[in-house]
A and B are shown apart, each in its own frame.
Chain A
Amino acid sequence: MTTTLPTQSERKKFSPPSIPWVVTFVYLIAMLLVPTIALILKAATLSPQRIWEIATSPVALSAYDVTFVTALFAGSINGLAGLIIAWVLVRYDFPFKRILDSLLDLPFALPTAVAGLTLATVYSENGWIGSLFAPFGIKIAFTRLGVFVAMLFISLPFVVRTVQPVLQESEREIEEAAWALGASQWQTFWRVVLPPIMPAVLTGVALGFARAVGEYGSVVIVASNLPFKDLIAPVLIFQRLEEYDYAGATVIGTVMLLISLLMLLAINLLQAWGRRYGN
């Protein structure tokens, strides 16, 4: 082996030792798959009527509403804001741009408990920002708006980070061609700049939405966690477990898991769409 050069066919057969494969599969099965299957099978031991009853109980429905609708709002607002932030970072120069760019990763790196703590303080009635809204009768912390702000915080970087590289690679010549052909700047943006970055924007929104839907740490601190008011589904699961209501926790947990899987599928499809644009 050491003295002879491998032939073409031997080189094609070049494969890593099987240890990485064994480690990958054993670890994934033990750490991810068995727990996931345990949840699904546990849910399957319940009768369909019972599952339906728990999954569509009024408390659960209101929790889905708070979770998904608020996350959708947060994701969409960050879709728009993230697009503008990415645009500004790629196209304009201004002082402290690099620091600003680095700081955008804060929601990825900052533990969610810290985010919740500081948002609850800042957006409370006598907090720095909350006190600006209080005179208008707008309460943010410990209401659904607080949930929204927490979701806004944790899903902020996704769109920026998915759009930035695509925008960097987009060719300025095409925009110039559009201008030269008489398109207004608005038309150029709408018809030339936006379509290629749209998959990246949607991927970012989907990632941010998925993250916001599953978020627990920051929301549980910034919200009052009252049913029918600002209780999100992950907190509901937590409360069910605290009451030793395993059936309730399992069913709502399974609903959340299935939605996560759907989101994962959607994100994969969006990324595939983006790659097609990339070529």
Chain B
Amino acid sequence: MVTDNLVDRPQQLPAPTPAPVDRSSKLEKLAKPLLIGFVILYLTLVLFIPALNVFVQAFSGGISGFLNTFHERTFLNALRLTLLMAVISVPLNTVFGLCAAWAIARNKKFPGRTLLISIIDLPFSVSPVVAGLMIVLLYGRNGWFGPLLEANNIKIIFAVPGMVLATIFVSLPFVAREVLPVLEEIGTEQEEAAKTLGANGWQTFWRVTLPSIRWGLLYGVLLTNARAMGEFGAIAVVSGNITGKTQTLPLFVEEAYKQYQTQSAYTAAVLLACLAIVTMVAKAILEQKTGTKNQAGH
């Protein structure tokens, strides 16, 4: 079994070693099928059946049942609002992510570098509900800016601006986190060469830096987008979940499920699941692209 295992992947072995003394027990022979079997069983229970169920339930009433949901006004409003969240927060977080990644990657040593990275990571570890709470405490009626906003008749909480702020908070780190390692890996030689040849900062970024970070950037944007469209907790806190007004698709899913409108809930869920599939497929493709690129580089 031991040698068998090694023969499977000859490329990882520089030279075939003489077969070790036969110590393989029955347990070792069983290890591979047992472990693979466990993995498949575990993933089937936790991941695959739940994922499959989304599609089965959505189309259990046939295509017409699925399409009927598209005539619901609240559903269409939720869809529109979900897209709006992404349209506003993704570009903002992308610009920020690029700036932050560049500032951090191009300055290897400044006081608080690790702290800055940790602060950017904060939304990953803070509960989305706590993020929403922060925004309520800041812009809500009793919040810091509450009186000022009320005097000027600006509504942020229970309205779209607050939802955008919450979305930005929870999806903030992705671009910075995906671009930073790529920037660190490509180094500064090419940028310096461009500068030497007379390119200004903007030209250097646009013609030299951006092309070499494009895959990492694209993946970061996709993750930001997936989170922005799929966010639930933070938006639930700040939006007040006013049907048809401040309800995004994830909120619509919960509401429809609670009202026993299973078909509507699963129609919306399928749209969100498709978003997840697009994100995962894009990741697989991008990984292949960057993977081959890395191999060529070595």
On A, residues with C-beta under 8 Å from B are 1-2, 5-6, 11, 14-17, 19-21, 23-24, 27-28, 31-36, 38-39, 42, 81, 84-85, 87-88, 91-94, 98, 100, 102-122, 127-129, 149, 152-153, 156, 172-173, 176, 179-180, 184-185, 210-211, 213-217, 220-221, 233-235, 237-238, 241, 246, 249-250, 253, 256-257, 260-261, 263-264, 267-268
**Bound CA span A91–B1, Å:** 13
Interface membership of chain B positions 267-298, coded 1 if the CB is closer than 8 angstroms to chain A and 0 otherwise: 00100110111011101100000000000000
Instruction: Find chain A residues with CB under 8 A from B251 CB.
Output: 113
Contacts of A264 in B (CB 8 A): 118, 121-122, 125
Q: Is the CB of A109 within 8 A of B226?
A: yes
On whether the beta carbons of A246 and B142 are closer than 8 Å, the reply is yes
The reply to whether A31 and B53 contact each other, CB–CB distance below 8 Å, is no
Q: Which residues of A contact B220 (CB under 8 A)?
A: none
Indicate if the CB atoms of A106 and B276 lie closer than 8 Å. Answer: yes
Q: For residue A100, which residues in chain B have a CB less than 8 angstroms away from its CB?
A: 39-40, 43
Check A110/B99 contact, CB under 8 A, given A32-B123, A241-B237. no
The 3 closest A-B pairs by CB, nearest first: A111-B230, A214-B127, A216-B233
Decide if A176 touches B118 in the complex (CB within 8 Å). no
Q: Is B96 an interface residue (CB 8 A)?
A: yes
Cα of A103 to Cα of B284 in the assembled complex, Å: 10
Q: How far is the CB of A246 from chain B (nearest CB, A)?
A: 6
Q: Which chain B residue shows the least CB distance to A249?
A: B133
* Contact between B46 and A156, CB atoms less than 8 A apart: yes
B80 within 8 A of A: no
**Cα of A117 to Cα of B284 in the assembled complex, Å:** 26
**B227 CB to nearest A CB, Å:** 9
CB pair B133 A214 closer than 8 Å: no
For A217, the chain B residues whose CB sits under 8 A away are 128, 232-233, 236, 250, 254
Say yes or no: A106 contacts B233, CB within 8 Å: no
For A123, the closest partner residue in chain B by CB is: B50
B169 pairs with A35, CB closer than 8 A: yes
Structural contact, A253 and B133, CB atoms closer than 8 A = yes
Does the CB pair A214–B196 fall under 8 Å?
A: no
Contact check, A117 vs B257: say whether CB atoms are below 8 A apart.
yes
Stretch of B63-71, B100-108, B210-218 that contacts chain A? B100-108
With contacts A109-B226, A216-B127 taken as known, whether A24 is within 8 angstroms of B99 at the C-beta atoms is: yes
B20–A180 contact, CB under 8 A?
yes
Known: A31-B172, A113-B253, A260-B127. A38 touches B50 (CB 8 A): no
Check B8–A122 contact: CB distance below 8 A.
no
**A156 CA / B249 CA spacing, docked (Å):** 24
Cross-chain pairs A/B with CB under 8 angstroms, 15 sampled: A34-B138, A35-B169, A42-B137, A85-B42, A92-B36, A93-B9, A105-B279, A105-B280, A117-B269, A118-B50, A127-B53, A129-B45, A238-B129, A256-B127, A260-B125
Choose one: A114, A149, A234, A235; the contact of B253 (CB below 8 Å): A114
Q: Which B residues from 1 to 15 make CB contacts under 8 A with A?
A: 2, 5-6, 8-9, 12-14
A20 near B168 with CB under 8 A, answer no
- Residues from chain B with a CB closer than 8 A to the CB of A120 are 257
| Chain A neighbourhood of B2, CB < 8 A | 179, 185
Q: Which of B35, B120, B129, B168 has the most CB of A within 10 A?
A: B129
B232 and A113 form a contact (CB under 8 A): yes
> What is the minimal beta-carbon distance from B3 to any residue of chain A, in angstroms?
11
Q: Is the CB of B272 within 8 A of A103?
A: no
Residues of B within 8 A of A267 (CB): 125
Contact residue among B14, B35, B40, B195 (Cβ-Cβ distance under 8 Å from A87): B35
